[in-house]
Amino acid sequence: MRIVSLVPSLTETLFDLGAGADVVGITDWCIFPEGLELPRVGGTKNPRIEEIRALAPDIVYMNQEENLAKHARAIEEFARVHVSEPKTVDDVAALFRELGRIHDRNSQPLLDRLAAARAMPQRDFTFAVAIWKKPWMWCGGDTYVSDLVEQTGGRNVLRDQKRYPSIDVADIKADVIFLPDEPYAFTAYDAEAITTSRVVGPFPGHLFTWHGSRTILGLEFLKSVALLSS
């Protein structure tokens, strides 16, 4: 099977699943596993379709939010397109199983690691996760990021908001504000400027925004946050 992955988090997941040998093309943003030496076919939003075609893939992996529908339509002319959109950690577990079936690999080791990472003390706290600053934007309750943090027992103060609401930081009333460093590169200055909540970050944003194998690392990171583990 020949695979092109236009989703960096799925590239990493395929290798962790033991299906890395199937991958023949990746994006410029595929940084895990480190040291990959595979043809790169552009970014998630601007893949080079003809280079993908030349790789003769059986399947091209895409994501509903990261990639564009027009590129999916173009790729469908010569390859199967697999589009995922996990919104919960349960969805990630289902994705592990699906990828295992597609690639004839045993997904149980990843499922076991995910289950172990989810087994953490439940803490009672409220939180908000920022994703942008100009204007301030946040993860609403129907996002993967929100569900990831709620695995700890926390409650997103924007749980009733859809997707990515724009609300000034001064109006966010939460015990904890998380500042991942992607998609917006929050800085220590941004963290110091927030005085109404405890701030966690900046920290590597892929721990919150990448689904798949990195979900496990994201949950382990949450375990290490003092407020949640003490």
Cβ contact 212:32 at 8 Å:
no
> What distance in Å separates the CA atoms of residue 211 and residue 95, rounded to the nearest whole number?
10
CA 120 to chain centre: 20
Q: Supply the mean pLDDT for the chain.
A: 95
Query: How confident is the model at residue 223, as a pLDDT?
Result: 87
Tokens 């200055």 correspond to: 189
Q: How confident is the model at residue 229 (pLDDT cuts 50, 70, 90)?
A: very low
Taking the CB of residue 173, how many other CB atoms lie within 10 A of it? 10
Taken in order of first residue, the domains within the chain and their CATH numbers are 3-85 (3.40.50.1980), 118-229 (3.40.50.1980)
Using the predicted structure, report yes or no on whether residue 228 has a pLDDT greater than 80. no
Cβ contact 228:120 at 8 Å:
yes
The single-letter DSSP state of residue 191 is H
Spell out the residues 6+ positions from residue 170 whose beta carbon is closer than 8 angstroms to its own: 196
User: Nearest CA to 202 among 96, 120, 99, 130?
Assistant: 130
- pLDDT single digits (tens) 110-159: 999 999 999 877 788 999 999 999 999 999 999 999 999 999 889 999 99
pTM of the model: 0.93
For the residues 221-230, what does the mean pLDDT come to?
A: 70
Cβ contact 83:62 at 8 Å:
yes
- pLDDT single digits (tens) 83-109: 999 999 999 999 999 999 999 999 999
Query: How confident is the model at residue 227, as a pLDDT?
Result: 57
For the residues 203-228, what does the mean pLDDT come to?
A: 90
Taking the CB of residue 16, how many other CB atoms lie within 10 A of it? 21
Question: Percentage of the chain with pLDDT > 90?
Answer: 92
